[in-house]
Amino acid sequence: MTADVIDGKAFAAGIRARVAEGVAAFKASQGFTPGLAVVLVGEDPASQVYVRNKHRQTLEAGMESFEHRLPADTPQADILALVEKLNADPAVNGILVQLPLPDHVDADLVINSVSADKDVDGFHISNVGRLGAGLKAMVPCTPLGSLMLLRDRHGSLSGMNAVVLGRSNIVGKPMAQLLLKDSCTVTIAHSRTKDIEAVCRGADILVAAVGRPEMVRGSWIRPGATVIDVGINRIETPEGKTRLVGDVHFAEAMEVAGAVTPVPGGVGPMTIACLLANTLTSAHRSVGLPDPEGLTA
């Protein structure tokens, strides 16, 4: 049996096209252009790639993109002052502070200094709380994109057994909240979980977000399961080059699963598409328009 490959790249292009339509309609009715500000502190090469992609795709969607690149040794007070300026700027509807931040910066302090209404990452404590309480929130982009792929494949997720591998604040925990909201029976597994393979074999939906290259083997996967691979790991090939792999052994998963997201071309492009969707949503909410159709959780 060979699993279906879930084409996140194509799905994300469709989302971005819908965002672009929404942006055009917003401009026509409101007379201003939604804007996204990205703050990048330091020179992390991986972050630079994402920031470049975000910038290009933001412009392609018809939105304004404001990039702020600061040196790695920027004092925390200067970062906080920039965030305050962006909070107050009416041209900025979304603010993303790229993580990780350098060690001398208190990341929680910076994240929570972003206005919750402009927090398109959904990392602000009030958005975390609102999601947990089932209230309208900004939803983190990677879990939102993963949820969209799952709903597209299954329609209703009600009653399905979902296992989330990883319990980070940016992926694992919000992913579990969204699956719970869609009435899955949710298990969160992590580095202390006993017999993690058996836990995973119970999953109709398996979301891997651990940051361990190809950790999830074919034998961990229930036949026919849907596997969402969030991991982005750069590994050395025997030829001394590098390549991207996920947290799932893709070839083995293809033999067992019903459907698998590839890396690259799976969840990654959905993350950026959802960032743009959240920025449009934030612009709508700022002027009292209803949320854009089909782009929220």
57 catalytic residue (yes or no): no
Question: Judged by CB, which is closer to ligand GUE: 196, or 226?
Answer: 226
DSSP string, the chain: --PEEP-HHHHHHHHHHHHHHHHHHHHHHHSS--EEEEEEES--HHHHHHHHHHHHHHHHTT-EEEEEEE-TT--HHHHHHHHHHHHH-TT--EEEE-SSPPTTS-HHHHHHHS-GGGBTT--SHHHHHHHHHT---PPPHHHHHHHHHHHHHHS--TT-EEEEE---TTTHHHHHHHHHHTT-EEEEE-TT-TTHHHHHHT-SEEEE-S--TT-B-GGGS-TT-EEEE---EEEE-TTS-EEEE-SB-HHHHHHH-SEE--SSSSHHHHHHHHHHHHHHHHHHHHTTPPPPTTS--
Question: Judged by CB, which is closer to ligand GUE: 107, or 289?
Answer: 107
Q: How far is the CB of 245 from ligand NDP (least distance, A)?
A: 10
240 is in an annotated binding site: no
98 catalytic residue (yes or no): yes
247 catalytic residue (yes or no): no
Does 166 participate in binding ligand GUE (rule CB under 6 A)?
Answer: no
166 is in an annotated binding site: yes
Does 127 participate in binding Mg ion (rule CB under 5 A)?
Answer: no
Catalytic residue among 57, 119, 121, 204: 121
134 is in an annotated binding site: no
Q: Which of 114, 141, 216, 280 binds Mg ion (CB under 5 A)?
A: 141
Does 94 participate in binding ligand GUE (rule CB under 6 A)?
Answer: no
**Catalytic residue IDs:** 54, 98, 121
Show binding-site residues for NADP(+).
Answer: 166-168, 232
